[in-house]
Amino acid sequence: MAKSANQKRKLLLLAKFLLERSDDEHPISRQEMQEELERWGLSAERKSIYDDMEQLREFGLDVQARRGRGGGWYIGQREFELAELKLLVDAVQSSRFLTRRKSDALIGKLEGLTSVHQARQLQRQVYVDRRVKTMNESIFYNVDRLQGAISDNKVVTFRYFEYNAQRERVFRRGGERYKLTPYGLIWDSENYYLAGWDELRKEVRHYRVDKMADIMVIGAKGHPRGRWTAEGYTRKHFGMFSGIPCQLRLRCENRLAGVVIDRFGMEVSLVPDGENHFTATVDLVVSPPLWGWLFGLGPGVEVQGPDWAVEQFAARLAELAERYKAFLPQAVPKGGETEREGTKAECPEE
């Protein structure tokens, strides 16, 4: 083999060896480099190793040298710092929409971005309370396909399913294909959603990507999105549930200002209403998760309009009260206690 070809091969092998085996706690000595080259049938003089390290620096690798006992060369700055890789591994491992097999594969690739020594620190388990991994392996590739359709403004068709009590897929619309102009992918409540113009409903709808099957991108040009934005769409939907859009008027205690701002953003208008309250009117989609959020805030918030929304919320509360009326405390007569048993706080028997 020509000398110039050997030199190129030698530099590539040394760069690979440094990237895979070295870090600031594990420098590689000149002798170790020479032994590695000998494994590949190459030899190197002492002086040539120093020259090779300088060429790798000029190429762009951050080759650092440590002198003295236990010294050698190592890669200093990398594309990703170890702390950044740990963060990415945690995100991949805890992601619900990735299957366990895909998570393991991605983490293996992330480990290749650092030394074998630091990669051991990435092999850790992240516990996320009640995390359930998706059963749909194809979601990883569906996301990529849908991103391409969004960029090219192409229509997509797919079948949509739910799981029944037997964990079997049940396709909606009898397996008929949905037709959608994709506007954007939304990550919400630990799931990916595709939002876009539904050709059948003639409105913007969204669908969970892990429940989409047989996705196809067709050549038809998509429906114009106008002023649609993923941020604005997500802000209106609680838990990405569909419902009736409206301008909901809320009267809240001042202590809930931070809660309202956290949910609807700094742009929300808070109008003072007396000394201890404010009102806020927000564009929302009325759905069960919205009522759950309002219920969780307790008496500190009051729905004031529109009338049909007030009636709907009141009806939901009445339904719950009716279902649990047997557990509700009886009215306390003046000057006495309730006759109903179990209204007092009691300690359980040991």
Measured CA to CA, the distance from residue 263 to residue 259 in angstroms comes to 6
CATH architecture of residue range(s) 3-75: Orthogonal Bundle (1.10)
| Residue 40 burial (10 A CB sphere; 0-12, 13-18, 19+) | exposed
Longest dimension (CA), the chain: 107
Q: Kindly report, as residue ranges, where domains of CATH 2.30.30 are found in the chain.
A: 139-233
Under 8 Å between Cβ of 228 and 134: no
The pLDDT of residue 345: 38
- What residues have CB less than 8 Å from 147, skipping those under 6 apart? 185
Among the listed ranges 137-141, 202-206, 288-292, which one has the minimum average pLDDT value? 137-141
Give me the CATH topology for the region 139-233: SH3 type barrels. (2.30.30)
What is the spatial distance between Cα 157 and Cα 217, in angstroms, rounded to a whole number?
7
Q: How far are the Cα atoms of 238, 247, 316 from residue 299, in angstroms, in the given order?
A: 20, 21, 15
For domain 237-326, the CATH architecture is: 2-Layer Sandwich (3.30)
pLDDT tens track for 55-90: 999 989 999 999 888 889 999 989 888 888 887 887
Q: Which residue has the higher pLDDT, 2 or 27?
A: 27
pLDDT at 339: 44
Name residue 139's amino acid: I
Q: Looking at residue 46, what is its pLDDT?
A: 82
Query: 268 pairs with which residues across the strands?
Result: none
pLDDT digits (tens, 9 = 90+) for 288-301: 888 888 888 889 99
| 228 vs 74: CA distance, rounded Å | 50
pLDDT digits (tens, 9 = 90+) for 144-156: 788 888 888 899 9
Residue ranges matching CATH 3.30.70 in the chain: 237-326
Alpha-carbon dihedral sign for residues 236, 316, 294, 300:
positive
Do the beta carbons of residue 72 and residue 81 sit within 8 Å?
A: no
Nearest Cα residue to 156 out of 218, 100, 248, 102:
218
**How many percent of the chain have pLDDT more than 90?**
29
CB 44 within 8 A of CB 25: no
Boundaries of CATH 1.10.10 in the chain? 3-75
The pLDDT of residue 340: 43
φ, ψ (nearest 5 deg) of residue 70: 75, 15
